DNA sequence: TCAGTAAATTAGATAAAGTCTATTTTGTTG
DNA sequence: CAACAAAATAGACTTTATCTAATTTACTGA
């Protein structure tokens, strides 16, 4: 049993492989960020991720957070969701799906792709190719709404 | 023909009525902003509207631009479109429709509602009411795409 | 082991969109 | 014209995100 692997769970290794699989060198910071995001399907802002990383042992700078999130998104490990005018959400659920966005709470919720069926599609503008379709159901918490 | 209306076109009056119809006092600045937006269906940023207003006779401050756009949106005269992470688009087309968003050029284009048919709708989360559905087709100008 | 190198991280400056506050301007009404 | 309310304004401020120049880390090959 000398030079054998330890039997303890090594999630870091797993994530390391996941990152290498898409050509990303798994640094300490990147692994931390990935661990947070990939723990479960969720929607986090850069700020939340920064806070989360720095609440654990290792810290990462704001610049690294943004660099890493951009890199992960370009490599398809996460998805950027633009629904809130003030900040981007990073979505660790990369399967095709849609969103409820609660305008009152700012909460973002997943909708399974098969819950929404789009039958008729428009033809694309000349010389463009489709990158993706975003469907957002904007909802309000139903208490008597004001206007003005 | 003494106290009769002049025969010249008076678009200001028209816009004045449109504003009053939704309970907005038509001030000089608001009318200017409305004239620019309502000239045709289009997607403009606050910055573009500010520049446009100030290139004409009357000027308006940044604060007034934002106040007015917010007011118009709340009263349903225009629609806010959230697709670009860095700025909001104000859409003078308030009929139900969807959008192409060209990620390369930042250009936003309308899609008639009847070009896209959504057959299956998800049930809303408990105690929320639907405010609207946004469907965005993200496209790229088709030249060999880079990654990294 | 260690020098050499490239990749990654970092602090902090900077940029841009949008909001807020205190003040002034404008318009209305008696 | 006086009194008042609504609207506009300058500029300070906040927040998200990017950029830059310097430092740190990690890998490679002798
Ligand atoms: Mn904003
Ligand atoms: Mn942004
Ligand atoms: Zn999602
Ligand atoms: Zn539109």
Q: Tell whether B73 is within 8 A of chain A (Cβ).
A: no
Residues A118-136, mean pLDDT to the nearest whole number: 92
Banded model confidence at residue B98, pLDDT cuts 50, 70, 90: very high
pLDDT per residue as tens digits for the range B30-83: 999 999 999 999 999 999 999 999 998 779 999 999 999 999 999 999 999 999
pTM for the structure as a whole:
0.89
pLDDT score at A146 = 59
Instruction: Check pLDDT > 60 for residue A5.
Output: no
Query: What's the CA-to-centroid distance between A101 and ligand 1, angstroms?
Result: 16
Of A50, A53, A62, the closest CA to residue A31 belongs to A53
Is the dihedral angle over the CA atoms B110, A108, A82, B148 positive or is it negative?
A: negative
pLDDT score at A148 = 61
Banded model confidence at residue B5, pLDDT cuts 50, 70, 90: very low
> At how many degrees (to 10) do helices B28-38 and B46-55 cross?
110
pLDDT per residue as tens digits for the range B105-145: 999 999 999 999 888 889 999 899 999 999 999 999 876 55
Of B81, B75, B91, B88, the closest CA to residue B38 belongs to B91
Give exposure, A84-115, as e/b (b: 16+ Cβ within 10 Å): beeebbbbbbeeebbbbbbeeeeebebbeeee
Q: Tell whether A76 is within 8 A of chain B (Cβ).
A: no
Nearest CA in chain A to B125: A100
pLDDT per residue as tens digits for the range A51-95: 999 998 778 999 999 999 999 999 999 999 999 999 999 999 999
CATH 1.10.10.10 fits A15-90, yes or no: yes
State the pairing for strand pair B97-102/B128-141. Answer: parallel
Q: How far is B58 from chain A (nearest CA, A)?
A: 26
Q: Are A96 and A69 in contact (CB under 8 A)?
A: no
Rounded to whole angstroms, the Cα distance separating A63 from A97 reads 29
Percent of chain A clearing pLDDT 90 (strictly above): 78
Banded model confidence at residue A132, pLDDT cuts 50, 70, 90: very high
Query: Measuring CA to CA, how many Å separate B139 from each of B20, B22, B119?
Result: 39, 36, 23
Q: Tell whether A103 is within 8 A of chain B (Cβ).
A: yes
């Amino acid at each position: 049993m000398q030079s054998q692997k330890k039997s303890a769970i090594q999630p870091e290794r797993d994530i390391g492989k996941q990152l290498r699989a898409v050509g990303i060198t798994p640094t300490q910071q990147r692994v931390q960020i990935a661990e947070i995001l990939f723990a479960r399907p969720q929607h986090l802002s850069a700020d939340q991720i920064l806070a989360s990383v720095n609440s654990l042992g290792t810290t990462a700078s704001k610049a690294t957070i943004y660099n890493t999130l951009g890199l992960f998104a370009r490599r398809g490990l996460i998805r950027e969701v633009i629904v809130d005018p003030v900040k981007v959400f990073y979505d660790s659920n990369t399967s095709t799906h849609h969103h409820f966005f609660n305008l009152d709470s700012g909460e973002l919720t997943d909708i399974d792709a098969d819950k929404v069926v789009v039958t008729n599609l428009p033809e694309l503008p000349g010389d463009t190719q489709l990158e993706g379709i975003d469907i957002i159901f904007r909802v309000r918490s139903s208490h008597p709404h004001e206007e003005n």
